[in-house]
A = this chain, B = another copy of it.
Amino acid sequence: MTVQALEAARRLAPRFAARAAEHDRDGSFPIEDFRDLREAGLFGLMVPRALGGMEASFAEYAAVATELARGNGATALVFNMHASVTGALGAVTEELAEALGVPDEALAARDRLLTAAAQGSWYAVAMSERGAGARLSQLTTAYEATDEGWHLKGSKTFCSGAGHADGYLVAARSAADQSVVSQFLVPAGDGLTVEPTWDSLGMRATSSHDLHLDVTVPTDRLLGGVEGLALVVAQLMPHWLVASYAAVYVGVARAAIDAAAEHLNARNLAGLPAVRARLGRADAATAAAQLVVAEAARRVDEAPGDEETNRWVWRAKLLAGTTAAEVAASVLEAAGTSATRRGHPLERLYRDARCGSLHPATSDVCADWLGIAALGGDPDRDGSAPRW
């Protein structure tokens, strides 16, 4: 697939870039970017070929995400959520389904969701809650069985793409048994209310608003068909989030270099030694981060969850986040005051780039885990309490 999807991403990136300033200014959702993604068939990127998709590997996904982010990092971040959902659903093999006791109907329902994605639907993730963050154990959104299906009630935050997705992956706790956490794919429509709380330094176009749910969904919308599988699904996803954030920020860093080069050439400042030194070091750091993300993604495909794979994922997250922030700060300094005007790509990229280290696992947390591993320890056992 790579070639086709990657070429599509490269083709779309300039279109996204042309719209990025407006969405950043208004905090509006890049609706046309998502129309472009749909038309290019990219919602099916992670969907198995048998269901009409491209069946991309994680490494292929990472390359696509970086290219999309060169156009607009916010668009790539939202797309990442959809890719995570479809990628995790697609990763449930028949063996795993059998081991978990997933009934055939649930697999059929899963296939319908993936098929819909291949045909142009896309999904957001409604996981985090105020106070609980992304920790499943702290969730307060509740569900219960009713005659019409499952009734969900509660509030989510940081839901990228809220109000625009065709469906939402929602984690909720059983009202009947507090120890049971399940996940549902809730279709857009009545019962969902978006509260526009997202107004951020960077990545402003993700529409990561609050989402209030008071909705009943059909029975087959319980993922896996069995209650209590949320943790299993979650465990299929984390490398997704951590490593795919990284792919996005490599694209942001590269976009900053390109924008700085264009700006400086237009002003005949490319000959200044300090400018060249800044762009040269930025280029090397970004190229390195890109290789690390690719290596992490390759290993996720080959040996997901392995100790060494996880170390590469943390390296990718750490380096992409810190590199993007440092590169954007340095090349903006090279470009000078005229590049700080709102609407200039570097002005936006400087803000977008600062967000990478802050997504979980933060750069400081990744550094701690990597240090423990380098010292022969086990981050799961010895790590500081994570921030997420």
Contacts and interface: CB of A to CB of B under 8 A. Distances in A.
Interface of A: 199-202, 257, 261, 264-265, 269-285, 287-289, 291-292, 295, 311-312, 314-315, 318-319, 325, 329, 332-334, 336-337, 340-343, 347, 350-351, 354-355, 357-359, 362-377, 382, 384, 387
Contact of A336 (B318, B319, B369, B387): B387
A271 B312 CA distance: 22
Nearest to A316: B284
A122 to B, nearest CB: 24
A355 to B, nearest CB: 7
A312 B265 CA distance: 23
Contacts of A281: 318, 367, 370-371
Nearest to A312: B287
Contacts of A292: 284, 287-288, 291
Closest 3 CB pairs of A and B: A276-B371, A280-B371, A273-B273
Which of A342, A366, A369 has the most chain B CB within a 10 Å cutoff?
A342
B354 A261 contact: no
Nearest to A277: B367
B375 A354 contact: no
B277 A274 contact: yes
A357 to B, nearest CB: 5
Given A375-B265, A377-B270, A284 B359 contact: no
Nearest to A366: B280
A369 to B, nearest CB: 7
B312 A342 contact: no
B277 A364 contact: yes
Contact of A284 (B274, B319, B325, B340): B319
Contacts of A284: 292, 314-315, 318-319, 366-367, 370
Contacts of A282: 374
Given A273-B273, A287-B312, A351-B351, 19 more contacts: A200-B341, A200-B342, A200-B347, A269-B387, A270-B372, A272-B364, A274-B367, A276-B372, A278-B364, A280-B372, A284-B315, A284-B318, A287-B292, A288-B292, A288-B315, A329-B329, A334-B364, A337-B355, A340-B355
A342 B279 contact: no
23 contacts: A199-B343, A201-B341, A201-B351, A272-B364, A272-B384, A272-B387, A273-B368, A274-B277, A276-B367, A276-B375, A277-B364, A279-B371, A279-B374, A280-B366, A280-B374, A281-B371, A282-B374, A283-B311, A283-B374, A284-B292, A288-B292, A333-B362, A337-B355
Contacts of A387: 269, 272, 336
Contacts of A279: 370-371, 374-375
B342 A283 contact: no
A225 B359 CA distance: 61
Which of A281, A285, A351, A374 has the most chain B CB within a 10 Å cutoff?
A374
B357 A274 contact: no
B333 A283 contact: no
B342 A329 contact: no
A387 B272 CA distance: 10
Nearest to A269: B387
A325 B329 CA distance: 8
Contact of A275 (B312, B315, B332, B371): B371
A276 to B, nearest CB: 3
Which of A274, A277, A340, A370 has the most chain B CB within a 10 Å cutoff?
A274
